Amino acid sequence: MITIRKAQIGDETAIFQLIKELAIYEKAPAEVSNTIPELKQHLFEEQLCSAIVASKNNEIIGFALYYTSYSTWKGKCLYLEDFYVKQEYRQLGVGSLLFKDIIKIAEKLKAKRLDWKVLDWNDPAIDFYKKHKTELDSQWISGRITFNS
């Protein structure tokens, strides 16, 4: 049985391991500069972001990390920063459970929009989002500045 719940103190190590797995999957493992203590601080002390986890037999097998964002046109929004399920648990509906829970969270917060990004080469993720009847926007180009701190 798979359960979805809000992340709690003590989950940060398992979530961080999944973040590292995601970085490997996205061919960017050297880009992870976050740490377990920082993740714990940001999730539970500063509450800069929140997460839900999927677990099976008390093992965390997936997560979704999100935060409130703001649109000048729409108002309050929710941004899904990362969303990952261990490879051996894919095709079991875990991703759908997590994604549906994120949608419920956005609705409960009265968010006007739920946003996320997906890499253009990640066909399994693109297919997943299409299956859930989402809009994938090719008009906007992402911008970024990375600071070394």
pLDDT reported for residue 144:
87
Q: Mapped to the 3 state alphabet, what secondary structure does 26-38 carry? A: CCCHHHCCCCHHH
The confidence score (pLDDT) of residue 79 equals 97
pTM of the model: 0.93
Torsion angle, alpha carbons of 135, 16, 66, 43, to 10 = 180
| pLDDT (average), residues 112-136 | 93
Active site residues: 129
* pLDDT above 80: residue 61: yes
Q: Where are the domains of the chain?
A: 2-131
Closest CA to 2 of 82, 62, 51: 62
Q: What is the mean pLDDT of residues 115-136?
A: 92
Please determine, for residue 140, whether its predicted confidence score (pLDDT) is greater than 90.
no
pLDDT exceeds cutoff 80 at 149 = no
| CATH number, domain 2-131 | 3.40.630.30
